């Protein structure tokens, strides 16, 4: 699995409208995060895709930036924002979550819905460091990712297999245990909440939902 393969898959999905993950009916949305933030907070959405979250945040009177490595999605997203006259509330920028092109301590919160479980294990530490770097001290992170508790994923049963990785169409999916998450984020973040979401019911995918506070 290479990031090039993954990027090609996601680019084609967005181009053809087969990005099914965009419409996963999560029971808990990041507007929960906004309960902990001041009204002038600035929020960074990692792997923003079509930017659905940006519009949700604008409806709640928050400012946001969507980071996306697909340049076509960035252009399309900013064009739509301009047409809707929402440039003061949001914008897309082109970049990589492993090398965020933004200054230290510039955000009140970082959100990631479904990006981290596609990243290679050797890059986890970089991911965490970059997310922490762009956050203010005491800033929050809201992260949603696949859980090892999942009974089913296509024809695979993550909760019954010793393996935690699944590859489909050149894309890597890692199913995190709760213990892994505490180990991964514990050095730089206080874990305020770790819950689980089952958007398709208890017999399908389970997502871990993390609310973190930068130490």
Residue 135 resides in a domain:
yes
pLDDT of residue 96: 97
| Strand 171-174 with 165-168, pairing | antiparallel
> Between these two residues, 33 and 156, which has the higher pLDDT value?
156
Which CATH number belongs to the domain containing residue 136 in this structure? 3.40.50.150
Residue 26 resides in a domain:
no
* Tens of pLDDT, residues 9-30: 999 999 999 999 999 998 766 7
Residue 208 resides in a domain:
yes
**DSSP per position, 45-105:** EET-TT-HHHHHHHHTT-EEEEEES-HHHHHHHHHHHHHTT-TTTEEEEE-BTTB--S-TT
CA atoms within 13 A of residue 89's CA, in its CB half-sphere: 18
* Tens of pLDDT, residues 39-54: 889 999 999 999 999 9
Residue 8 resides in a domain:
yes
36, containing H or E segment: none
Residue 112 resides in a domain:
yes
pLDDT of residue 107: 98
pLDDT of residue 139: 97
SS3 state at 197: strand
Q: 190 with 215: CB under 8 angstroms?
A: yes
Domain hosting 128: range is 3-16+33-214
Residue 59 resides in a domain:
yes
SS3 state at 145: strand
* Tens of pLDDT, residues 61-115: 999 999 999 999 999 999 999 999 999 999 999 999 999 999 999 999 999 999 9
Residue 21 resides in a domain:
no
Residue 122 resides in a domain:
yes
32 band by pLDDT with thresholds 50, 70 and 90: confident
| Strand 107-113 with 42-46, pairing | parallel
Domain count within the chain: 1
Q: Which residues have C-beta within 8 Å of that of residue 183, sequence separation ≥ 6?
A: none
Q: What is the pTM assigned to this prediction?
A: 0.96
**138-153 average pLDDT score:** 97
């Amino acid at each position: 699995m290479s990031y090039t393969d993954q990027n090609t898959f996601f680019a084609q999905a967005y181009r053809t409208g087969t990005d099914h993950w965009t419409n996963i009916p999560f029971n808990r949305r990041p507007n929960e995060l906004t309960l902990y933030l001041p009204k002038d907070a600035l929020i960074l959405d990692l792997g923003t895709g079509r930017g659905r979250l940006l519009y949700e945040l604008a409806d709640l009177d928050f400012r946001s930036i969507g980071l996306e490595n697909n340049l076509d999605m960035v252009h399309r997203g900013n064009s739509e924002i301009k047409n809707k006259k929402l440039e003061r509330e949001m914008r897309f920028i082109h970049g990589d979550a492993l090398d965020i092109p933004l200054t230290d301590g510039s955000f009140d919160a970082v959100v990631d819905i479904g990006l981290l479980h596609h990243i290679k294990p050797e890059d986890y530490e970089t991911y965490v460091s970059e997310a922490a770097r762009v956050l203010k001290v005491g800033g929050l992170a809201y992260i949603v990712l696949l859980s090892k508790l999942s009974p089913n994923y296509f024809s695979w049963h993550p909760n019954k297999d010793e393996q935690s990785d699944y590859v489909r169409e050149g894309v890597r999916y890692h199913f995190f245990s709760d213990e892994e998450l505490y180990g991964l984020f514990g050095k730089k973040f206080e874990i305020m909440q770790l819950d689980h979401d089952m958007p398709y019911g208890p017999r399908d995918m389970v997502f871990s939902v993390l609310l973190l506070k930068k130490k």
